[in-house]
Amino acid sequence: MSQRDAKLILLESLTPLHPGSGRSSAYVDLPVQRDEFDFPTIWSSSLKGALRSTLTLSCNGINDAVERAKCRRKVYLVFGPETDEASDYASAVSILDARLVLIPARSLRGVWTYVTSPHLLNYLLTYMEVVNHGKRNDLAKLVEQVKGVVKDGTAIISKPDLLVSGNSIVINELELSATQDATLSQLINLLPGDIRNIASERGLTVVSDSNVQEVVRRSLIIQPRIRLGYATKTVSGGPWEEEYIPQFTVLATALLCREIRVDVDKKLNDWKNKDCKDLKDDEKQKCESELENFLRGKSSDLKNAGKVCDEVLSDLRPKSLFFGGKETIGKGLVKIIEW
């Protein structure tokens, strides 16, 4: 029986994304979250909260009260209990911060291209090592080759269509000397299906670590906002500015799973009383019986770390979720890609 399991997850933003960090005195009022090197990131607490919320809401959509109670209890077993039971046991999953790997950049040729750097690729290599990913060594060799070629003020590209005047590329209004390098085609082929297809179509550009922060900064979207009065439809608040990670950005995270660590037999009666208390007598009796069967059967599956990871990923249908702010205005939709 496995005691630990891990999955590498790539997040592809399907709409602009605002994992907010609160108000700021910097150049934008509401910036996105950033890592210790000032690159856009999504903190693990935001990711875990979004996953838990998505799965809980899917439970709430179940019409059958008994099935709804069983679904919620499964979420608590995997993600940890509610506040009133917080000291009873810990979550069976850990989620790492989502680190930037690929970001779209405006290109004078071809509208946009994916951009990365050796530093950003090292984020991915680190997480691949954490999960013992089978393609890690192949990617590491390619990254070493890239490091030996790309220099400050230069770029390498996967396709010649991006070139301007034969020997340069203009991305986010920055002009860099550029050459095509076959290594990048090999790198693209290592990526999972959807991201591989987009990178093949749009091209992949690798810039130096000295240039990548400026490229990333210029890729982020700064959107001015105002508030309108409900009755008059005139400005009643603002203006303020919000920062967004652009559509098609790819970030990497890892899902680390272990077996649930709770004595189900010891908690069984408490959970039956709590989960079934608001039901009518006949339905309550059915709920208690089925919940007991479920916990003695299904929960034993969750003693296997691999099953815990499977429960998190298999219940995400479709494989996408909203997180961060601005969900109601169509921001923050992210595709989950298990790699």
Residue 123: is it exposed, middle or buried by C-beta count within 10 angstroms (0-12/13-18/19+)? buried
In the chain, domain spans: 4-19+44-96+248-338, 101-219
pLDDT at position 54 over 50: yes
- Quote the pLDDT of residue 10: 96
- Quote the pLDDT of residue 155: 97
pLDDT at position 287 over 60: yes
pLDDT at position 316 over 70: no
CB 242 within 8 A of CB 32: no
Residue 303: is it exposed, middle or buried by C-beta count within 10 angstroms (0-12/13-18/19+)? middle
290: closest CA among 78, 71, 62?
71
pLDDT in tens, 236-266: 777 888 999 999 999 999 999 998 888 888 8
- Quote the pLDDT of residue 25: 55
Pairing of strands 235-244, 221-228: antiparallel
Give Rg (Cα) of the chain.
Answer: 23
pLDDT at position 1 over 80: no
Q: Give percent of the chain above pLDDT 70.
A: 96
- Write the CA distances from 323 to 16, 49, 134, 171, 277, integer angstroms: 11, 8, 30, 29, 32
Q: Quote the pTM value.
A: 0.90
- Quote the pLDDT of residue 93: 92
Positive/negative CA dihedral, 58, 59, 61, 62:
positive
pLDDT in tens, 154-176: 999 999 999 998 899 999 999 99
pLDDT in tens, 201-230: 999 999 999 999 999 999 999 988 877 877
